[in-house]
Structure 1
Amino acid sequence: MDGRRQPIEGFMVELPSGVIFEVKGLLHPPGKVLAYPRYLPDPAGDRVREGRRYRKTASWRERQALLREGPLSRYVAYDPVLGDAFCFLSLAELAAIYDPVARLAELRRRAGELARPGREALKMAEELVERAGLSWSDAGVSGSLLVGLSGEASDIDLVFYGRDACLRAYRALREMRDDGLARPLGAEELLAILAARSADTLYDPEVFTAREPGKLLQGTFGGVPYSVRLVPARGPEPYGRVRFRALGTAEIRAVVADASEAIFTPCRYRLREVELLSGTQEPEVLVSFRLRFCEHAREGEEIAARGKLEEAIGPGGRRELRLVVGGRPGDYFTPLRP
């Protein structure tokens, strides 16, 4: 299934070798896409598509290792606008582009043929679209369902595009949680998630078990675990309008001044009363492209975090210092109270 839109967050793309990448963020160089390996052809893999076996990369740390050595390392390059080295794939080289909105439309056409979890994903999408009064062009499906690698144990991965649609979908999620249609993750699911995430993210188990059940963007629907990404744009950001400069690593304590964009991917938290524990300058904003850090702290809460410090230089020379969390080993972001 080839999408026609420019790939952004939620899309996946495939190389002729069969390696499938997940697209990250909204900012991509002309003719390229910033992405990371997600599914690898593997004769011992536990997922099968059209007779070929695949395995899912186990962690962010493994994905970074794949890009440091071996055949995929050739896709890593420095970008002068993003101010750092990332994995970039040429659009001309891709064997396939997987569009979440187009894939959900395909699932709707094939509704009578679907097995779990595709059936439950479609039901959940229908519930959200109807409750929020959305267009089907606002909603998509991502993850293993997007690329035809789902199995009985797969999760539901939904994505919504556009700020207004995202806000309405989030309100609908709250209604579904209140009505009991969507439920918090249970103790067994939380323990499994904690074990998986701890491979590349430091967590306080007490804070984790206290906070994660309250997040609306993850839970269970029809007995199937789900995650929902809310992407506040429908297309890529203009390349070069904002430029970035890496300033090393910083570790901070701070108070969240504004968490109104905590539900989006990327999520943003404006900070105040920043105490610099290490690093060169105090960030004004904490940003993450990882869904695990959405809904992670509330306004007025004290937090601790470690990540990449960077300067964003916008039109007219306006500058913003950001702490980007989740892209490097050892990064963390945690409220200081459960």
Structure 2
Amino acid sequence: MRKFRDRDFIESTEGLLFCVIGNIHPRNRIIAYLKYVPKMESSIRTKWSRNGVMYGRILPFYSAIGVKNTMEFLKKNYPHYIAFDEYRSVELIEVPKEMINKHYRPEERLKEITENPLDSLEAMAREIVEKLSHESGVEVNLFGITGSILLRIHNPLISDIDIIVYGKENAYKVKEALLKLYNDDSSEFTRPSGEVLENWANDIIKIHPLTFKEAMLLYSKYKWNRALYKGKQFSLHPVKLEFEVNEEWEQKKFRPLDIVTIRARVIDNSDSMFMPAVYKVDNVRVIEGDTTANKVSTVVSYEGLYVDLADSDDEIIVRGKLEEVIDSRSSEVYYQVTVGTYEAQGKDYIKPIKWLKG
């Protein structure tokens, strides 16, 4: 059965547009962040519209601090979307299922686009997916389109193209295909360089604790899933299928302990492509904070910037929220550091040591 997946969108009964986070959700609510609000004045020059209704983008850049600000808006105007989650021990944006007016599924929207693109941006989205499908061997029906194109509020001249690939094995195949295409000058798939690269780096260091040099390195070498096709920005996001997710929201309870900085070695990065990104680690050394962090076995990131950044055997520096996790299914108790939380106030990160060396 097709459930709510990462990067689906949901429209509330009031017309608010939320982006779904991850594939694991409470029984009667969906974890999401608010992205577009109808008839809202926005400071962003880009405007989104559909059927004569203008939408304000309340979240200019996705970040934990940005989401925290949208929570304040919801508390003031739509408090029923804020819940203290007893399992995560934190306030979250959770959309009650009975408040969902429409569920937008990326694969269904892409099917419409591949059959009949209505503008130049939709035509380019189809072109990208067809090329990735041909190069990787992954069927077109295992891709999707998210963001403003999914919602039909895009602007063909300035909107980006946000593509989904469904399934773990498919994601690896598409990543490999994309890396090959970057090395083929005739493919028209390129990594950012020059002024574009500098602009991306400058944008990201405003909201994340990276140096300009680190941000340049990140986008030019490590961030394989955000690039350009014929000069147009696109992103690609792996999302698991239902049979690949063997966990329920209520299965684990999290207890926050401290904000810590650790150094660790990655021993398994096979789930680092997805949201949240998961890195299994060992050889942990505490640089700052609660020494319980010596017991950390997992690093988890809800910040997409740090997805698929480190390989097995890589050493990483991590700053984030130390949590004790109690798994009721396995009776296991373990410790993790979570990146992308409100408590870290935008100062958390994952940095591979090799990345710091350039």
Correspondence list, 1:185-264, <5 A: 185-214=192-221, 215-234=223-242, 237-264=247-274
Aligned residue in 2 for 1:28: 25
**Letter matched to residue 128 of structure 2:** M
Aligned residue in 2 for 1:281: 292
Checking the alignment, whether the CA contact within 8 Å between 1:11 and 1:99 is kept in structure 2 is yes
Aligned residue in 2 for 1:94: 100
Cα displacement (A) at 1:281: 2.0
Aligned with residue 178 of structure 1, among 154, 172, 183? 183
Moved more, 54-63 or 147-156: 54-63
Correspondence list, 1:309-324, <5 A: 309-314=322-327, 315-324=329-338
Aligned residue in 1 for 2:141: 137
> For residues 138-169 of structure 1, what are the alpha-carbon distances to aligned partners after superposition, in whole Å with 9 as ceiling and x for unaligned?
21111111111211111111111221221222
Checking the alignment, whether the CA contact within 8 Å between 1:31 and 1:91 is kept in structure 2 is yes
Distance 1:210 1:153 in 2: 25
Cα displacement (A) at 1:271: 2.4
Moved more, 287-296 or 87-96: 287-296
Identity score, percent = 24
Checking the alignment, whether the CA contact within 8 Å between 2:205 and 2:212 is kept in structure 1 is no
Correspondence list, 1:299-318, <5 A: 299-314=312-327, 315-318=329-332
Mark the runs of 5 or more structure 1 residues left unpaired by the alignment.
none
Q: Pick closer, same or farther for the CA change 1:298–1:153 going to 2, 3 Å.
A: same
> For residues 6-26 of structure 1, what are the alpha-carbon distances to aligned partners after superposition, in whole Å with 9 as ceiling and x for unaligned?
222010111232221111012
Aligned with residue 167 of structure 1, among 166, 169, 172? 172
Distance 1:191 1:291 in 2: 19
Aligned with residue 122 of structure 1, among 123, 126, 139? 126
> For residues 257-315 of structure 1, what are the alpha-carbon distances to aligned partners after superposition, in whole Å with 9 as ceiling and x for unaligned?
33343333322222233222113522222111332112323444433221122233332
Checking the alignment, whether the CA contact within 8 Å between 2:23 and 2:240 is kept in structure 1 is no
Moved more, 119-128 or 233-242: 233-242
Checking the alignment, whether the CA contact within 8 Å between 1:10 and 1:23 is kept in structure 2 is yes
Aligned with residue 113 of structure 2, among 104, 107, 110? 107
Moved more, 160-169 or 21-30: 160-169
Q: Pick closer, same or farther for the CA change 1:264–1:66 going to 2, 3 Å.
A: closer
Aligned residue in 1 for 2:60: 58
Cα displacement (A) at 1:204: 1.9
Q: Pick closer, same or farther for the CA change 1:18–1:187 going to 2, 3 Å.
A: farther
- Say if 2:351 is the partner of 1:334: yes
Checking the alignment, whether the CA contact within 8 Å between 2:129 and 2:140 is kept in structure 1 is no
Root-mean-square deviation (CA), in Å?
Answer: 2.2
**Letter matched to residue 168 of structure 2:** R
Compute the TM-score of the two structures, normalised by the length of structure 1. 0.90
Compute the TM-score of the two structures, normalised by the length of structure 2. 0.85
Distance 2:132 2:213 in 1: 31
- Say if 2:162 is the partner of 1:148: no
Q: Pick closer, same or farther for the CA change 1:170–1:70 going to 2, 3 Å.
A: same
Q: Paired residues, what number?
A: 333
Q: Pick closer, same or farther for the CA change 1:233–1:295 going to 2, 3 Å.
A: same
Distance 2:98 2:196 in 1: 40
